[in-house]
């Protein structure tokens, strides 16, 4: 795959035998530039106005570092939790029939549709010390609202459909005969799951993880309601960006955005490399 796409950038005409290569590729590039590349380039150009020294001071400022750690840490934890429970949900939806299944299936997509601020408010109302759940949990010493734990809870909600919807189709297409073969060859149920099913859906799980994680890193709307927003404790990086904007410090705001972009890109690239490695190892692609 890598050699063919590389050679397509060489001055030869389109190598594909399919018609329309030039037109579709041209439109795609234009579209990607307008929607993604140009705005992102704007971020880096604006933040360049800061100068390297100021940029570095900002990037290594303990408060920025604390906010970045919180944003990426909570997004990683939430995506990890979603991989486990999203897989379970997909499994139940694909493998079993039960009354209300379609309703359940449709409900998975709700986090996509719901304005995140509404989700944040709902979770805060639930987990606040006077809320339904909070009034039980807080006396037990488990504070969710206004702590980093609250951020994780909100991000689990936001990220769940990404994992379910990535895994579900792969699981549905999965050939049952492979499992049956595995069973007839004497494998235990656990062995079948670990050696036959998991490797097959691992790429889609990774994809779901990456999507949920990326979505969580940038989340703002729901978190500001539930986090408490205390500097060094529950202040997320996107809030720092808003704070810089309130200071009319556009360069400072975009600098934090640029740092987040670079880290996100590096992590997503890492996940892609993992996918490719997995593909080479097992021959199963995502």
Partner 1 sequence: MTFPDLTRRAALLLGGLAVLLGTAFEVHARTNIVNVSYDPTREFYREYNAAFAAHWKKETGETVTFEQSHGGSGKQARAVIDGLQADVLTLALAGDIDEVAHSGLLPKDWQTRLPDNSSPYTSTIVLLVRKGNPKAIKDWSDLAKPGIQVITPNPKTSGGARWNYLAAYAYALENNGNDDAKAREFVGQIYKNVPVLDTGARGSTTTFVQRGIGDVFISWENEAFLAQKEFPGQFEIVVPSISILAEPPVTVVDKNADRKGTRKVAEAYLDYLYSPEGQRLAAKHYYRPRHPEHAAKEDAERFVNVKLFTIDDTFGGWVKAQPEHFGDGGVFDQIYAPGR
Per CB under 8 A, contacts with partner 1 among 180-199 are none
Nearest to partner 1 of 210, 240 (CB atom): 240
The reply to whether 228 sits near partner 1 by the rule CB under 8 A is yes
Nearest to partner 1 of 139, 186 (CB atom): 139
From the list 21-29, 86-94, 248-256, 269-277, the region that binds partner 1 by CB under 8 A is 248-256
The reply to whether 202 sits near partner 1 by the rule CB under 8 A is no
Long-range CB contacts for residues 248-257, cutoff 8 Å, separation at least 24 = 250/46, 250/49, 251/46, 251/47, 251/49, 251/50, 251/54, 252/50, 252/58, 254/42, 254/43, 254/44, 254/46, 254/47, 255/47, 255/50, 255/54, 255/55, 255/58, 255/59, 256/58, 256/64, 257/43, 257/47
8 Å CB contact between 215 and 159: yes
The reply to whether 242 sits near partner 1 by the rule CB under 8 A is yes
The reply to whether 225 sits near partner 1 by the rule CB under 8 A is yes
Map residues 107-136 to x or -, x wherever contact with partner 1 holds by CB under 8 A: --------------x--xx--xxxx-----
From the list 31-39, 87-95, 244-252, 259-267, the region that binds partner 1 by CB under 8 A is 244-252
C-alpha closest to that of 147 among 161, 134, 159: 134
The reply to whether 257 sits near partner 1 by the rule CB under 8 A is no
Three-state DSSP at 23 gives: helix
The reply to whether 224 sits near partner 1 by the rule CB under 8 A is yes
Interacting residue ranges for partner 1, rule: CB under 8 A: 62-63, 121, 124-125, 128-131, 145-146, 224-225, 228-232, 239, 242-249, 252
């Amino acid at each position: 795959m890598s050699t063919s796409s590389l050679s397509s950038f060489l001055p030869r005409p389109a190598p594909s035998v399919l018609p329309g290569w030039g037109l579709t590729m041209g439109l795609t590039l234009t579209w990607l530039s307008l929607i993604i590349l140009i705005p992102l380039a704007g971020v880096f150009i604006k933040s360049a106005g800061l100068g390297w020294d100021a940029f570095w001071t900002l990037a290594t400022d303990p408060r920025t570092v604390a906010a970045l750690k919180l944003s990426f840490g909570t997004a990683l934890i939430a995506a990890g939790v979603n991989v486990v429970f999203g897989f379970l949900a997909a499994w139940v939806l694909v493998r079993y029939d039960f009354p209300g299944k379609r309703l359940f299936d449709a409900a998975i997509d709700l986090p996509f549709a719901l304005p995140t601020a509404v989700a944040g408010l709902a979770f805060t109302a639930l987990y606040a010390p006077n809320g339904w759940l909070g009034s039980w949990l807080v006396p037990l010493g488990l504070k969710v609202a206004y702590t980093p734990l609250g951020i994780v809870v909100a991000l689990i909600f936001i990220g769940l459909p990404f994992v379910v919807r990535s895994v579900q189709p792969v699981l549905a297409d999965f050939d049952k005969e492979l499992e049956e073969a595995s069973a007839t060859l004497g494998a235990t149920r656990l062995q079948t799951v670990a050696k036959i099913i998991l490797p097959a859906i691992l790429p889609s799980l990774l994809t779901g993880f990456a999507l949920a994680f990326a979505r969580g890193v940038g989340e703002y709307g729901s978190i500001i309601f539930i986090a408490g927003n205390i500097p060094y404790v529950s202040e997320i990086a996107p809030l720092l960006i808003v704070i810089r904007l309130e200071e009319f410090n556009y360069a400072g705001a975009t600098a934090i955005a640029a740092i987040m972009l670079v880290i996100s890109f590096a992590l997503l690239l890492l996940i892609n490399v993992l996918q490719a490695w997995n593909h080479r190892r097992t021959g199963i692609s995502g």
